[in-house]
Amino acid sequence: MKKVVTFGELLMCLSTPGAQRLKQASNLEVDFGGAEANVAVSLAQFGDNVSFVSRVPANDLGERALMAVRQFNVNTENVRWGGKRLGLYFFENGAVYRPSQVIYDREHSSISEIKKGEFDWETIFQDADWFHWTGITPALSEQAAEVTLEALIAARKLGLKISGDYNYRSSLWNWGKSAAEVMPELLQYCDIMSGVHPDVDVLKAGVKEEDFRQAGDEMLSKYPNCKLVVFTTRGSHSASHNTWSGSIYDGNKVFSSKTYDLTHIVDRVGGGDSFMAALIYALRHYDDLQQVVDFAAGASALKHFVPGDGNICSIEEVESLLQNVNGLIKR
């Protein structure tokens, strides 16, 4: 089977142990993540052939970051060494009324100082049939936005299927242009889009099929290359208790998963990425969009009970959940 390529920043995540606050911690747990790396890791755990493209500094931290994804069978041959620093983020896991907190420290990172032409996309995309990107990369710097466009043009030219996750984070768009100015040109290349949400109160009003249809039609008409719009729906009772489901709209019909009741959340970071990874897997392996959305929602529900950014669950574990095993011990 051909490979999937994802492109983006790989960050060191420094998180406090247990429920400690950053003001209290005398040691921090080291993990590595980033939206596109998370997708790569989860896809590789499902057994797909995945290449992750990024840029890291030529020191032990850059090496360590690659080790973290490479161990999960993600190919890192196309990562370039260079730049001065590895992007970081500090993470404090919330509980009930205390929200989780992320402090980004990723400005001036290696990938934000990438230059056009630094990647040879034609070589990178050889033997690949899918390219995944997110709106985080063009938010990092003008150069990162330009290189994203470069990649999209090459991917289109070489006939890869393209999925894009809008993944809007207002705090990241600081380099001069806004998301509204930059994203539309990039989104034109997508076959599949995620990261938009109907504007409703999930817990009070619920999201109706009509809401997905309306939000989806807006995207499909704006981006004519796009064939599928996918949604995740999170209802937040508290930092420890959410509800979660997924939906796909193909311009005709809305396919929605069951709603999962995430009652004792372990780590919700990377929930959307795990959905996207499982969706890509399922679109490549299953025909039925209902099966696709069920797999993606189940896999990403599981992610909320795995510490760290990546959804290191297997296909068997997702399938076991879909067959409704109620948390009995697996011996």
Where in 124-153 is the site for its own copies (CB under 8 A)?
none
Binding residues among 280-299 for its own copies as defined by CB under 8 A: none
- DSSP string across 125-155: TTTEEEEEEETHHHHH-HHHHHHHHHHHHHH
Q: Could you say which residues in the range 221-250 bind its own copies, by CB under 8 A?
A: 236-241
Q: Which of residues 32-71 bind its own copies (CB under 8 A)?
A: 59-61, 63-64, 67-68, 70-71
| 28 binds its own copies, rule: CB under 8 A | yes
Identify which of 219, 208, 204, 275 has the alpha carbon closest to the alpha carbon of residue 250. 219
Rounded to 10°, the helix 35-45/271-285 angle is 50
Question: CA nearest 41: which of 29, 30, 31?
Answer: 31
DSSP character at residue 228: E
144 vs 192 by CB, closer to its own copies: 144
- Residue 97 as a binder of its own copies (CB under 8 A): the answer is yes
Using rule CB under 8 A, residue 262 touches its own copies: yes
Integer Cα distance of 176 and 159 in angstroms: 32
Of 214, 221, 263, 290, the one binding its own copies by CB under 8 A? 263
Closest C-alpha to 303, from 100, 103, 42, 93: 42
Binding of residue 117 to its own copies (CB under 8 A): no
Q: Kindly identify the residues of this chain, within the stretch 306-325, that bind its own copies according to CB under 8 A.
A: 306-308, 312-313, 317, 320-321, 325
Answer yes or no whether residue 22 interacts with its own copies by CB under 8 A: yes
Other CB atoms within 10 A of residue 330 CB: 8
Instruction: State in angstroms the smallest separation of the CB of 225 from its own copies.
Output: 30
Any alpha helices (H) in 209-328, and if so which ranges? 209-222, 271-285, 289-303, 315-322
Tell the smallest beta-carbon distance from residue 29 to its own copies (Å). 5
Q: How many residues bind its own copies (CB under 8 A)?
A: 83
Task: Work out whether 252 is an interface residue with its own copies (CB under 8 A).
Answer: no
CA-nearest of 154, 8, 158, 148 to 76 is 8
- Per rule CB under 8 A, is residue 329 in the interface with its own copies? yes
Interface residue with its own copies among 108, 157, 208, 253 (CB under 8 A) is 108
Q: Which of residues 179-198 bind its own copies (CB under 8 A)?
A: none
Q: Cβ neighbours of residue 78 under 8 Å, at least 6 residues apart?
A: 5, 51, 52, 53, 119, 123, 124
330 belongs to the binding site for its own copies (CB under 8 A): yes
